[in-house]
Chains A and B, each alone.
Chain A
Amino acid sequence: MNLSDAVAAFCFGYPFVMSIYWMAGGLLYQRLRTRHEPPADRPPVLARHPPVSILVPCHNESRQLAETFAALQRVAYPDYEVIAINDGSSDDTGARLDALAAHMPRLRVVHLQSNQGKSTALNAGALAARHELLACIDGDALLDPHALTWLVRRFQSDPAIGALTGNPRIRNRATLLGRLQVGEFSSILGLIKRAQTVYGQLFTVSGVICAFRKRALHDAGWWARDALTDDVDVSWRIQLAGWRIVFEPKALCWILMPETLRGLWRQRLRWAEGGTSTMIKVFPALWTPPSRWRLIPVWMNYVVAIAWSYTIVAALVARAVHEVAGALGHALPWAWSGFSPIPQVWGAVLGLTYLLQAVLSMAIDERFERGLLRTLFWIVWYPLVFWTLQAATAIVGLPRALLRGRPERATWTSPDRGLR
């Protein structure tokens, strides 16, 4: 096999093999766990109800607070408190939280005088939290009434679990971008988390809905204030500290996602840069005793995904150069002509494999959200447009992560929350 064939095999083979791997993971998870479990809307009564602290970091969330805290009042769990952390908001978030606290006995508010970033806000909230189990949601996320029960139940089932990731569901579906992400969260993220739970190591919890034992966070060194993606960073350190993380798909949380290309780009670029920074940061720890060698395949998958993005771009550039040189009558010093941007047979196989993955994942997720299969109509954009966006953010994210230099405190700006 020459270089050209090897590159072609990699560009086709990586997403093809991984797609089959994620689908198998989803099916194995169904076989090994889901079929033994009750429906998400009918949780069993727990033998004990250990108290839980719900942390809600907020930065300029004034518009979302009423809904977020109304949903928190509907939580069907007997013993919980809510800690809202106002992270130096410049709008009236602080005043609104104080007003909510006056009428909501479970709610306490921590005001950070200046914007410190989500990690510091969560650390402050954890200090204020009275209980060992922490559930974390974003200031614009609506927690399902039974989510807390499912999270606690999973902690009770296994003392080795240090953290849990819940199942974020997209709320805003008014535009094409919103509906596209509905499919993405099922077909990509949902299957990946199921497969990684079967394997035993997760790439990350979802910061928008996750839960921790304080003991595990303490062993991991709490949230890192320089982490761009606090959830990825803390997930790796918790697993490096010897704790397990698993997916609890019945712990639902309804979230808002960007509905403009600019908002989506900024979000995905932050994810890519933050993920890459974490991979760089944790690399030495993977080899330091006690070795956490089972994390290495998860680490390698992330690195290979970045390499794949660069390879695709190199192939497209090579084709463009080849075509231009050919049109001008020049001979190039290399033989590799790259790929056409028009999919050929292998592109068709990839497209069809992805559609199969989408159908399978949505069939699995129908258990949690009736009518999900209807969003398949919109999924066509995923292989046409979304893969390009993902690859582009991976490509831009790598140099940004490498050139980031000295770690700084990662503060936040209010994201695009879609059409409402």
Chain B
Amino acid sequence: MSNNGDAPAWPPVIARARAPWPLRARDALLTLLAWFVLLWVLRDALLTLLAGISPETAARTADWLEHRLSPLLGHLVPVAPSAFWLELSDFLVVAALFVAWLAVWGWLNRKQLQRQPPAAGASDHASPAALPPHEQFAAAGLDQQAPLWQQTRRLHVEFDDAGRVLQAHDDDAPRV
């Protein structure tokens, strides 16, 4: 394999252009339709939200929409915004408590989050000791096999039915 012969363009996004145009057109149309459906379904609710911020704007918008799109929208009735905000406030308080909890943890963890690696020349005593191969191979029940596993370029491994390693051998070495 050449160094770059099979290398993809970077970033290697497989773009929409690779899809057939009917597929792309279908996706775009369906998505536009989905936005309209979403807005239509949420029409009263959105007006209520708007009324919570500005009752006059909500009323004007409802009038305008009814006038322009009456057959589609029907009669628009925003619910009482004061009741809405009152109910939402309970959830906002709970959310605020959760965010406060997270902020406390962020503050406690801030040194870990902002920690930088040691500068050049600094001692590296803080790094945990590497796992010696004999410990790893002992845990796998493969004592003394580290050289075979770690120095072979093409290793062949066989397992028993229970998933334990039966044997491993070098594919490039002559089999006895």
Contact = CB atoms under 8 A, between A and B. Distances in A.
Interface string B110-141: 10111111111110101111110001110110
B14 A173 contact: yes
A129 B131 CA distance: 12
B31 A377 contact: yes
Question: Interface size class for chain B?
Answer: 35 or more
Interface in B72-109: 79, 84, 88, 90-91, 94-95, 98-99, 102-103, 105-106, 108-109
A332 interface: no
B12 A67 contact: yes
A28 B102 contact: yes
B8 A70 contact: yes
A58 to B, nearest CB: 14
Interface in A32-81: 32-33, 36, 46-48, 66-67, 69-71, 73-74
A24 B100 CA distance: 9
A116 B163 contact: yes
Interface in B1-60: 1, 3-8, 10-16, 18-19, 23, 27, 30-31, 34-35, 37-38, 41-42, 44-46, 48-49
B159 A12 contact: no
Contact of A103 (B1, B12, B48, B115): B1
Interface in B132-155: 135-137, 139-140, 142, 149-150, 152-155
B91 A215 contact: no
Interface stretch (A274-282, A315-323, A347-355, A396-404): A347-355
A218 interface: yes
Contacts of B153: 101, 108-109
A69 B108 CA distance: 41
A156 B98 contact: no
Nearest to A221: B139
B156 interface: yes
Given A198-B106, A199-B102, A348-B42, A66 B6 contact: yes
Contacts of A69: 1, 6
Given A116-B159, A156-B117, A200-B109, A67 B6 contact: yes
Interface in A334-391: 342-349, 351-352, 369, 377-378, 380-381, 383-384
Given A101-B154, A132-B130, A214-B130, A123 B140 contact: yes
Contacts of A211: none
A175 B19 contact: yes
A380 B102 contact: no
A207 interface: no
Contacts of B79: 345
A349 B48 CA distance: 10
A409 B163 contact: yes
Contact of A348 (B5, B49, B106): B49
Contacts of B116: 36, 157
Interface of B: 1, 3-8, 10-16, 18-19, 23, 27, 30-31, 34-35, 37-38, 41-42, 44-46, 48-49, 79, 84, 88, 90-91, 94-95, 98-99, 102-103, 105-106, 108-110, 112-122, 124, 126-131, 135-137, 139-140, 142, 149-150, 152-159, 163, 165, 171
Interface of A: 9, 12-13, 16-18, 20-21, 24-25, 28-29, 31-33, 36, 46-48, 66-67, 69-71, 73-74, 98-101, 103-104, 108-114, 116, 120, 123-124, 126-130, 132, 142, 145, 153, 156-160, 169, 171-176, 178-179, 195, 197-200, 213-215, 218, 222, 225, 244, 254, 342-349, 351-352, 369, 377-378, 380-381, 383-384, 409, 418-420
Report, nearest first, the 9 A-B pairs whose CB atoms are least far apart: A348-B45, A156-B117, A132-B130, A47-B120, A174-B19, A70-B6, A20-B95, A214-B131, A66-B6
14 contacts: A16-B91, A21-B95, A21-B98, A114-B159, A120-B159, A123-B140, A128-B150, A156-B124, A157-B116, A174-B14, A215-B128, A348-B49, A378-B31, A409-B163
Given A20-B95, A174-B16, 8 more contacts: A17-B98, A47-B117, A67-B6, A114-B159, A126-B136, A225-B163, A420-B14, A420-B18
